[in-house]
Amino acid sequence: MKASVIVLFFSSLFGLNVSVYRYHFLVNETLTFQEAQQRCIQHYDYLSTVRSKDLQDLSSNSLIKEDSFWIGVQRDSANYFKWIWSEGGEATIKFWALGEPDGDKCGAVRKSTLTLFARPCDNHFRFYCMKVYELIVVHQKSTWEEALEYCRQNYIDLAIIHSEDIMEEAKINSTVADTDEVWTGLRFLAGHWFWVNGADFGYNVWSSDGEIQCPAMNQRCGVFDRTQGVCKPTDCERRLNFLCVKAKYED
Ligand SMILES: *[C@@H]1O[C@H](CO)[C@@H](O)[C@H](O)[C@H]1NC(C)=O
Ligand SMILES: CC(=O)N[C@H]1CO[C@H](CO)[C@@H](O)[C@@H]1O
């Protein structure tokens, strides 16, 4: 049976020194930890790597009927005292429940307390899978159109900066660019600004001047200004480096 996936869709930057952001997807099926892990690898990247500040959002999904859901953390089979992420790497968890971990081997979040419990791996819970993305600077000087085409051919798309976490990511990752401004997937057409992938505009990326309601004819593509950490409208024909969105784990 194909996993049914819900609409919950938000990003999550894991540690500022790690240049990635994560989208978490609840899978509406109750499986054992191992089955869940396989399901994630088939359809996404891995069971979710989760930070304390993600717990509230992840737990508030009303499709989760049980009190617990799996995330991608389990005891290291080689070292009883170590916990590791499905994605790889040691898990340093700050949200263990009091008295946890006990002797069990797989990690489930209890949504009523927003804490992690060690559970028997053959328990059946719903679970979160994630897809992991990163922003990559392309060191060539291109017009906005050329940049869009390059990103779509070689990666996924021009950068879509629609959350605080991705903005942080853009700041970190654009420091290596050769130009102070880098293209993003922001475009003004038919009377409004939009992201080229259709993402909504809830998050304010603009400088304190705010969104330019009706930019001049020659100011209709959006750059990320890495010296100021904001987006700005500019001339689409300028030649700039650009930020593409890339899947961290290729299929
Ligand atoms: C989630 O799964 C339950 C069965 O466990 C089903 O009744 C419900 O319709 C599903 N919801 C969605 C949105 O797929
Ligand atoms: C400065 C910086 O963090 N650059 C990173 C941007 O993302 C690419 C792709 O993952 C990394 O290789 C860079 O190190």
The answer to whether the CB of 115 is under 6 A from ligand 1 is no
Residue closest via CA to ligand 2's atom 8 equals: 136
Name which residue leads in pLDDT, 128 or 207: 128
The answer to whether residues 94 and 35 belong to one domain is: yes
Please give the number of the atom of ligand 1 that sits closest to the Cα of 65.
5
Model confidence pLDDT, tens digit, residues 183-197:
999 999 888 888 898
Residue 240 structural domain: 143-247
The answer to whether residues 232 and 157 belong to one domain is: yes
DSSP conformational letter for 155: S
Q: Is residue 12 domain-resident?
A: no
Task: Write out residues with Cβ below 6 Å of ligand 2.
Answer: 19, 134, 136, 172-173, 175-176
Q: Is residue 13 domain-resident?
A: no
The answer to whether residues 125 and 188 belong to one domain is: no
**In the structure encoding, which two tokens stand for residue 21, read together?**
């952001």
7 has pLDDT over 70: no
Model confidence pLDDT, tens digit, residues 135-149:
999 999 999 999 999
| Count of domains for the chain | 2
Model confidence pLDDT, tens digit, residues 58-98:
999 989 999 999 999 999 999 999 999 999 999 999 999 99
Residue closest via CA to ligand 1's atom 3 equals: 28
Residue closest via CA to ligand 2's atom 2 equals: 173
Closest CA relative to residue 30, chosen from 62, 60, 58, 70:
70
Model confidence pLDDT, tens digit, residues 27-68:
999 999 999 999 999 999 999 999 998 899 899 998 999 999
**In the structure encoding, which two tokens stand for residue 163, read together?**
């959350």
Closest ligand to residue 8's CA: 1
Q: What pLDDT sits at residue 251?
A: 57
SS3 54: helix
Last residue of a domain, one of 73, 96, 130: 130
Closest ligand to residue 124's CA: 1
